[in-house]
Homo-oligomer: A and B are copies of this chain.
Amino acid sequence: MQQMGDDQSGSETGRTLILDELLGYALRRAQLKVFKDFEEAMREYAIRPAQFSALVVVEEMPGVTQSELAQRLAIDPPRVVNLVHDLEKRGYAVRVRCKRDRRSHGIFLTKPGEALVTTLKRLSVESDARASVGLSEDERAHLLRLLRKIYDTPEAP
């Protein structure tokens, strides 16, 4: 290994000069690692990250419409259709036509859906703890705060 690289490369540290100074690259690497554990934890319930976040939002906002859900999760409406359709097909959620505006569908969890999301939230917290085992409690809180600053800052147009 490293036969061709050793004699010509300037780096033996496992770091490149620029990649590890870029937030985008560091964010991607960190996210890949955290998601890997998360997906592993959810595998038993066949729940993908996007489905998990949808379940959690519906639990906290019963009757949320699909367009609201799309906005809240920062995903496109067509994705929400499939997402919710699958949850409904599996008996975890139902769509109820809104009486006031019959174009809208409010989403509610079923009893099994409530039970599932309770379990999944516990698993997600455990997975998150594993992923951040190298961080102190202060560091973890600080990281969260900085990440929110990134994605809450409106982009300059």
Q: Which residues of A contact B (CB under 8 A)?
A: 1-5, 8-11, 14, 16-38, 49, 53, 56-57, 60-65, 67-68, 72, 74, 98, 100-101, 104, 106, 121, 124-125, 127-128, 130-135, 139-140, 142-144, 146-153, 155-156
Contacts and interface: CB of A to CB of B under 8 A. Distances in A.
B144 A20 contact: yes
Copies of this chain present in the complex amount to: 2
24 contacts: A2-B68, A3-B104, A4-B65, A4-B104, A5-B63, A9-B60, A9-B62, A11-B61, A16-B57, A16-B60, A16-B72, A18-B60, A20-B148, A23-B34, A23-B140, A24-B35, A24-B124, A27-B27, A27-B34, A28-B31, A28-B35, A30-B147, A134-B152, A135-B149
A143 B140 contact: no
Nearest to A14: B72
A142 B155 CA distance: 21
B3 A121 contact: no
